[in-house]
Chain A
Amino acid sequence: MSLKFRLASRNLFHDRLRFIATIVGIVFSIVLVTVQMGLYVGFGRMVTTMIDHAPADLWVMPLSTKCFEDPSLMDDRQRFRALAVNGVAEAAPLVIGFAQWRLPGGGTTPVFIVGSELRGLGLRPWDLVAGRVDDLSIPGAVAIDQSYFDRLGTSGLGATSEIRDQKVQVTAVTKGIRSFTTTPFAFTGLDRARAFTGISPDKASYFLVRVTPGSDVEGVRRRLQANLSDVEVLTTTEFRNRSRSFWLFGTGAGAALFAGALLGTIVGTVIVAQTLYSSTKDHLDEFATLRAIGSSGAYIYMVIIWQALLSAIIGFCGAAAIGAIVVKMTAESALPIVVTPALTIGLLVLTVVMCIASAIAAIVQVVRIDPALVFTR
């Protein structure tokens, strides 16, 4: 093993207090970035959860629809025009809208109704922990998420309430279908969704389109767009991106999360740079000795970069452990922090880049070393 690594590790661990300060700085910084980016990913997923779970190839929607929750309406006749377009296998209406759920103790709380056909193409509840999708065909049946029981004042399966003066009964319970707006989703059949939201029977919020096997989705999209008026036709990916973009950047939420992540990175870089700089300063005699005995500049830089890398790896491991706890703790919350494998790799790369960038100040200091210093110290 080259002594570069040994020198780096000994320099790093020699002053334990400084080493701990460095690691705490990196851990703090990376946990902050993890939380911000994890919230970003979690938020991004949550705002598109309905789009992700709808088995559609294309979405037909009113012009200028910004996101899934945008409650504009279209005439049902558009569906028949869509069905006439070559390459369209199915076109199913989807109705969304806010409604008031009557609480047992009096008063109401808003719910977000999602209504579609219970058979064929439709957006039906998933991850059921009680009841079945078929149970939604019972009059007044709705499916709600178990995380909203308290909010809705319901005891779960079989519980009853009222929406828009109409009796509802919980016939299915889901787990983990939460709304980032904190308004609970209530899944139901198409007709009851219209009844709960006051939407007339000839209107719909979206038409979910499935193309015939072997058809070119983009080609069908273009034909639909040409044949339908006052609507937009988007692929699932386009609609997902539009919704995500609206909620993350149209509202400033994403920018705030990125700003937090950037702040974390800056704080981490400054802390590591400061500690590496002071460590290098403390070992200046040693670096001058190395230079005097003939080491190249690159050899010394590698010692410093090894120090930075060691700090990065140890700091990242600490941050990953804390991050895992945070992810677990928020898994059941309204806005879970989601850390994907890609994000984990990104955070590792960020930690390494941050620590190596921090080494620049120390390297600049070493570049200026006069090897003749060894005779004067």
Chain B
Amino acid sequence: MTEAVLETVDVVRHLGHGAGEVQALKGVSLSLSGGELVLLMGPSGSGKTTLLSVMGCLMTPTRGIVRVRGRSTAGAGPEDLAKLRRDHIGFIFQSYHLFPTLTVEDNVRLALDVRGQRFRRAKIAARESLAMVGLAHKTKAFPIELSGGEQQRVAIARAIVGNASAILADEPTGALDTQNGQAIMTLLAQIAKDQSRGVLVVTHDPRILPFADRIVHIEDGRIVSEEPGERSKEQRVRRS
């Protein structure tokens, strides 16, 4: 593992206003390093998604520091945060969030198009990315023509096509059966082997524990425990 690609230091985040205001994060410090796959687990309402949003620069913290590749996001406006996201962060969502009217290739290319990358280069990169997730033969298909597992693989291709240093996944196996879930996690684990990339996965799914380098438990807006994952243990055994 290398330096932290994403880091939060003592982050507090309030949600809602007035009487309905809640403190969703109560001083969370967490880092994601290149070459590791971290699972973020916790019960519903524990602050997992809020933490993912803050780490993904989709939400600004009420207090505390967020760093993307060592650079603080303090004072960044919405457009600055958007630039940080397109340059450094890839997202994978439970419900895929693909564009139904675009082909698989265009869905992946979109991540490069928003960066203003030229058509030809973007097209080649999108095809390479799709080949990496095993969908080289489905470039012209539309999302509706794909299975859930295939759609999630397209989402992964979109997340990695721009060489993001952090991949943030929200329940990526939540809508998939065991076989497809395992395939997706195998793919994410492979991505996390790249020392320049870290993968943070929010999950409830205990079936994916074997893929983790580190497991972080969050409850009531606080990190309550951190433990090495199976993959990390295996690596240590292999090394010894």
Contacts and interface: CB of A to CB of B under 8 A. Distances in A.
A10 B111 CA distance: 18
Given A3-B110, A6-B106, A294 B99 contact: no
B102 A6 contact: yes
A371 interface: yes
B89 A10 contact: no
Interface string A351-377: 000000000000000000011101111
Interface residues of A, number: 28
B63 interface: no
Interface centre among A292, A296, A370 (most CB of B within 10 A): A292
Given A289-B99, A374-B91, A4 B85 contact: no
Interface of B, secondary structure class, is: helix
Contact of B106 (A3, A286, A374): A3
B93 A375 contact: yes
A291 B82 contact: yes
B45 to A, nearest CB: 13
Contacts of B111: 293-294
Interface in B77-132: 78-79, 82-87, 89-91, 93, 95, 97, 99, 101-102, 106, 109-111, 113-115, 119
Contact of B170 (A10, A291, A375): A375
A7 interface: yes
Contacts, number: 81
Interface stretch (B2-10, B51-59, B144-152, B223-231): B51-59
Interface in B33-80: 49, 52-53, 56, 58-59, 78-79
Contact of A296 (B79, B84, B97): B79
Contacts of B53: 372, 375
A278 interface: no
Contact of A290 (B83, B95, B106, B114): B114
B97 A2 contact: no
A377 B95 contact: yes
Interface in A115-167: none
B197 interface: no
Given A7-B99, A293-B86, A372 B115 contact: no
Interface residues of B, number: 33
B214 interface: no
Nearest to A377: B95
A371 B85 CA distance: 11
Given A292-B85, A293-B86, A293-B114, A11 B93 contact: no
Nearest to A12: B101
Contacts of A10: 99, 101-102
A294 B114 contact: yes
Interface centre among A14, A292, A294, A299 (most CB of B within 10 A): A294
